[in-house]
Amino acid sequence: MNKGLIVVESPAKIKTLKKYLGANYEIAASVGHIKDLPKSKLGIDIENGFAATYQITEAKKKVVAELKKIAKPLNDIYIATDPDREGEAIAWHIAEEIGAKGKNIQRVLFNDLTKQTVLNSLANPTKLNSYQYEAQQTRRLLDRLVGYKISPLLWSKVRYGLSAGRVQSVAVRIICEREEEIRKFVPVEYWNISADLQAKTPPSFTAKLHKIAGKKAKVEREEQAKEIVARIEKSCPFVVSVVQKETKKNPPPPFTTSKLQQEAAKSLYFSAKKTMMIAQKLYEGIELGKQGATALITYMRTDSTRVADSALEELRGYIRQNHGKDYLPEKPRGFEASAAAQDAHEAIRPVSLEYTPESVSRYLSQDELRLYQLIWNRFVASQMNPAVYDQTTLDVMADDCLLRASGSILKFAGFTIVYTEAKEENEEDDFRLPLPKVTAKETLKILGTKSEQKFTQPAPRFSEASLVRELEENGIGRPSTYASILSTIQEREYVKIEQGKFHPTDLGEVVNKLLVGSFARVMDVKFTAIMEEKLDAIAEGKAERLRTLEDFYQLFASELKEAGKKMTDLKGEGEATEIVCEKCGAPMVIKMGRNGQFLACAGYPQCKNTKNFRRAEGEGALLVEDQVPTDKKCEKCGKAMVMKSGRFGKFFACSGYPECKTTMPLEDSPAESSTPAPPCPKCGEVMSLKRGQFGKFWGCSNYPQCKTILPLSTGAPCPLDNCDGFLTERKSKRGRVFYSCSNYPQCTFATWNKPTGKQCPICGKNSMAEKYTARSGAVSSLCLNDNCPSAVETAVKKPTTKATKTPATRTAGVAKTRATKQETPANKKGKTSPSKTIKK
């Protein structure tokens, strides 16, 4: 007999639940939120207690109609949306739509999708949580008020289509302020001094200068360094003290959401968004052959390190059986929760140690396996004994200089046989080379000395891992929001990632400056953290939604009014500067255009003079960059070329413009281009190397009379069989370089990897290419021939990031490299997409 309807968020959960419950329940999915505030208006009645107007979204009308149809003949409705605030809001909206009079609406929480958890939850349902719902509604209304009230200001002052966010804009501020720190940072010179020493017994060792005349060493000039080195070399060094002690390194706790995102970014090079997408699949269930859909991990949005007693018991048994009693502590390890932790769910862990990474590897994609392995290793390590080191600190006196050497020897591996955390960039390893056995006052022999000039470095730019940590430490956002924050600020083009680091764009810096200037309270990091605490208080029933909204809006309304009057208008009058227009004498102002900031004459429209500029290092002074003279000559008229900046970057242009309109890409000037220019096949004139929206090409120098163009060869042939084309460099709509066949559209081969034209040692074709991994700095050599017997990948540059113990990534099928829709060129004639390879 059917016992009722279970409503979940994701359709992917349905298979897993049906395997456990059979035909006893109807199971349907809402596919996320079914209702939201209207897009066309604010949707909040501020004067009437901040009453919100919710409506079924257009995309979910069919879903809601189907839910109503299924629920109509049933009395019991179990709403099993995700066990967090967003899930609670979805549950309330579902109840409003299908909870007709007489229906028994109940809430069930699946912290993991194991059979035992599902059956226990259905046997012990609860009521809808009004406090969690109120907290989510308060967050939604706060975000709507900030977004829908500030965004129109940005449209009128900067550019139409811009947006602001209560939390996302604070994240942008953090990135912009770090960039400003880097610009203003003044490096300070210092010198490291060390000596290679030898005792009576091996090995030799290196000791670094620690103190001079009893004070901390501070060497700032080369002359000072040379003088100290000379004193050390003339001295007779001897051992002052030897301190030996045993140190322990405890294992880290199992993953919370933020720690999983940070570690996956450092060791697997996954974005926060990708990490959460894969974790969602592992939570909802993976098809494991005859077993069917099976959940592999617990709920992945959590800030708790708590583990169920039953899971701890299973884990201790696993460690005892697989690693021995020496690796198992006497009692389970406990981990202190952070002050802000809600502790609603367990830590992220495997649902059962029966599903080892090895046993499920054939059912998982490579990325799924790597993330599951990471979660598995961390969970197992969390309940193992600490690693033990014998650490020695050796002090040596040379003249009045105290030199110090430290060494560590791993005495017991402990948890490190299973898991080691990935290091941050430039983070030193804890392990040091062993030192010789020496005694106090023993004299040593100097083998050599070294003085090395160094300069202090500014704080590094944020990576995804370090930005998530910064948000977490400052109390900005919650586990469920970190991934969306990082995605949103990139989609809005306020920040960009270059070589794994966040850089603010010109647009991001402009918007941040205006928002911080006009809404200092809303954009304040501490204020944002306090708002998160108030939302937590509402979720716990300790604060009221209405009072929180009223307190916020009272000051916000006055800030809005003031900003409308005083915020700098970059579309109209612009931001004043001290630069004077050389044409009319009026001051130049900074304005915002489609391609970023530029200098424009304040006398516009009478004077239309504009200039490019950049901000100098340090205090941020403006340096004009417009028509920089060069010693290059125009190939058509012989006049001097000047360097300009355009939407595709810097380029050379003839100073005779507009009479002569010759242009040339900066890197393809005649002196720097080794590619011989071919004759035009139509008129016989020499072709010129040009750059367009989609990359480099040969264009007839007789343009516009002759408009012939030819693709530019990279020197590598197309790797596909029966194709006589060559690979040419192109650009996608997003500006990313890719390489495609010159015979397009007859041949649609394309790849992101740079062809070298070198011969493959396996298949013999001239189809080798270089693959660059931006996050790790790794460059690999691989074959583009899809029919090559082996995917060749030979490292030609050692990655800078330490390898982890998770399964290695193997690059294969290079020509089939996938690209996101945003990166793919328009699907038009003559514009190749590198998203796939289609053989003729």
List the end-to-end C-alpha distance of the chain, in Å, as a whole number: 56
How do residues 425-442 score in pLDDT, each as one tens digit?
655 555 567 789 899 999
Catalytic residue (one of 54, 299, 327, 389): 299
- Which band of pLDDT confidence, cut at 50, 70 and 90, is reported for residue 583? confident
What sign does the dihedral 430-435-437-440 (CA atoms) show?
A: negative
Pairing between β-strand 76-79 and β-strand 5-8 as defined by DSSP bridges: parallel
Q: How buried is residue 575: exposed, middle or buried, by Cβ count under 10 Å (0-12/13-18/19+)?
A: middle
Q: List Cα–Cα distances, 65 to 58, 61, 106, 133, in angstroms.
A: 12, 6, 20, 23
- The winner for highest mean pLDDT among 28-32, 171-175, 388-392 is 171-175
Structure tokens at 99: 């909870």
According to the model, what pLDDT value does residue 149 have?
93
What sign does the dihedral 110-116-118-124 (CA atoms) show?
A: negative
What sign does the dihedral 739-742-746-747 (CA atoms) show?
A: negative
Nearest alpha-carbon partner for 24 in 50, 45, 1: 1
According to the model, what pLDDT value does residue 429 have?
55
Q: Compute the distance between CA of residue 622 and CA of residue 615 in angstroms, rounded to an integer.
A: 5
According to the model, what pLDDT value does residue 478 have?
81
Say whether pLDDT at 796 is over 80: no
According to the model, what pLDDT value does residue 832 have?
40
At 504 the three-state DSSP class reads: strand
Q: Which helix (H) or strand (E) holds 380?
A: helix 366-382
Which residue type, as a one-letter code, is found at position 824?
A: T
DSSP secondary structure string for all residues of 547-583: HHHHHHHHHHHHHHHHHHHHS--TTTT-EEEEEE-TT
According to the model, what pLDDT value does residue 642 have?
84
Q: Compute the distance between CA of residue 515 and CA of residue 563 in angstroms, rounded to an integer.
A: 9
Q: Where are the beta strands (DSSP E) in 9-112?
A: 26-29, 35-36, 44-45, 51-52, 55-56, 76-79, 104-107
The pTM score is: 0.70
At 271 the three-state DSSP class reads: coil
Contact 37, 60 (CB under 8 A): no
- The backbone torsions φ and ψ at residue 725, rounded to the nearest 5 degrees and listed phi first, read -80, 175
* Phi-psi sector, 477: left (phi>0), alpha (psi -120 to 50), beta: left
What average pLDDT score do residues 382-391 get?
A: 94
Residue 443 gets which letter from DSSP? B
Q: List Cα–Cα distances, 346 to 16, 121, 305, 335, 510, in angstroms.
A: 20, 15, 6, 12, 42
Structure tokens at 649: 């970057």
Q: List Cα–Cα distances, 342 to 286, 302, 339, 538, in angstroms.
A: 28, 8, 9, 12
According to the model, what pLDDT value does residue 379 have?
96
- Residue with more model confidence, 837 or 410: 410
Q: List Cα–Cα distances, 455 to 193, 436, 449, in angstroms.
A: 14, 32, 20
- Residue with more model confidence, 294 or 614: 294
How do residues 595-650 score in pLDDT, each as one tens digit?
677 888 888 888 888 887 776 654 555 666 566 778 888 878 888 888 776 655 66
- Which band of pLDDT confidence, cut at 50, 70 and 90, is reported for residue 816? very low
Q: Is 299 in the active site?
A: yes
Query: Please, what is the average pLDDT of the chain?
Result: 84
Q: Compute the distance between CA of residue 154 and CA of residue 569 in angstroms, rounded to an integer.
A: 9
According to the model, what pLDDT value does residue 670 have?
41
- Residue with more model confidence, 324 or 700: 324
The residue behind tokens 């649902």 is 351
Q: Compute the distance between CA of residue 458 and CA of residue 386 in angstroms, rounded to an integer.
A: 34
- Residue with more model confidence, 410 or 776: 410
Structure tokens at 781: 């050599």
According to the model, what pLDDT value does residue 580 have?
86
Q: How buried is residue 657: exposed, middle or buried, by Cβ count under 10 Å (0-12/13-18/19+)?
A: middle
How do residues 722-735 score in pLDDT, each as one tens digit?
888 889 888 776 66
What average pLDDT score do residues 556-560 get?
A: 93
- Which band of pLDDT confidence, cut at 50, 70 and 90, is reported for residue 654? confident
At 18 the three-state DSSP class reads: helix
Q: Compute the distance between CA of residue 209 and CA of residue 195 in angstroms, rounded to an integer.
A: 8
Q: Which helix (H) or strand (E) holds 613?
A: strand 613-615
According to the model, what pLDDT value does residue 803 have?
36
Q: Compute the distance between CA of residue 136 and CA of residue 213 in angstroms, rounded to an integer.
A: 62
Say whether pLDDT at 568 is over 50: yes
According to the model, what pLDDT value does residue 544 have?
93
The residue behind tokens 């290419």 is 769
CB burial readout 520-533, b (16+ within 10 A) else e: eebbebeebbebbe
Residues in the chain: 840
DSSP secondary structure string for all residues of 299-346: -S--------HHHHHHHHHHHHHHH-GGGS-SS----PPPTT----SP
Q: Which helix (H) or strand (E) holds 781?
A: strand 778-783
- Which band of pLDDT confidence, cut at 50, 70 and 90, is reported for residue 677? confident
Q: How buried is residue 202: exposed, middle or buried, by Cβ count under 10 Å (0-12/13-18/19+)?
A: exposed
Say whether pLDDT at 10 is over 50: yes
According to the model, what pLDDT value does residue 19 have?
87
* Percent of the chain with pLDDT strictly greater than 90: 47
What average pLDDT score do residues 112-118 get?
A: 86
Structure tokens at 478: 């919650």
Say whether pLDDT at 812 is over 60: no
Question: Across the strands, what pairs with 184?
Answer: none
Structure tokens at 295: 């959940």
Lowest mean pLDDT among 164-173, 234-243, 482-491, 663-672: 663-672
According to the model, what pLDDT value does residue 692 have?
67
- Residue with more model confidence, 436 or 827: 436
Say whether pLDDT at 673 is over 60: no
Residue 297 gets which letter from DSSP? B
According to the model, what pLDDT value does residue 805 have?
37
Which residue type, as a one-letter code, is found at position 833?
A: S
Cβ atoms < 10 Å from Cβ of 482: 28
According to the model, what pLDDT value does residue 701 have?
76
Say whether pLDDT at 704 is over 80: no
Q: List Cα–Cα distances, 104 to 3, 53, 64, 95, 131, in angstroms.
A: 12, 26, 18, 10, 20
Q: Compute the distance between CA of residue 585 and CA of residue 471 in angstroms, rounded to an integer.
A: 47
Tell me the three-class secondary structure of 212-265, residue by residue: ECCEECCCCCHHHHHHHHHHHHHCCCEEEEEEEEEEEECCCCCECHHHHHHHHH
- Indicate the angle between helix axes 168-184 and 482-491, nearest 10 degrees: 70
Angle, CA 359 vertex, CA 356 and CA 363 arms, to 5°: 115
Query: Which residues have C-beta within 8 Å of that of residue 561, sequence separation ≥ 6?
Result: none
According to the model, what pLDDT value does residue 667 have?
53
Q: Compute the distance between CA of residue 323 and CA of residue 503 in angstroms, rounded to an integer.
A: 45
Question: Across the strands, what pairs with 389?
Answer: 247, 410
According to the model, what pLDDT value does residue 657 have?
76
DSSP secondary structure string for all residues of 793-817: EEEEE--SSPP-SSPPP----GGG-
According to the model, what pLDDT value does residue 385 have?
96
Structure tokens at 475: 């109390």
Say whether pLDDT at 236 is over 50: yes
Lowest mean pLDDT among 286-290, 628-632, 798-802: 798-802
Cβ atoms < 10 Å from Cβ of 483: 23
Q: Compute the distance between CA of residue 462 and CA of residue 424 in angstroms, rounded to an integer.
A: 11
Nearest alpha-carbon partner for 6 in 24, 25, 33, 22: 25
DSSP secondary structure string for all residues of 616-681: PTTT--EEE-SSEEEEEE-TTT-PEEEEEEETTEEEEEETTTTT---EEEGGG-TTT--SPPPBPT
Q: List Cα–Cα distances, 333 to 255, 419, 808, in angstroms.
A: 14, 16, 30
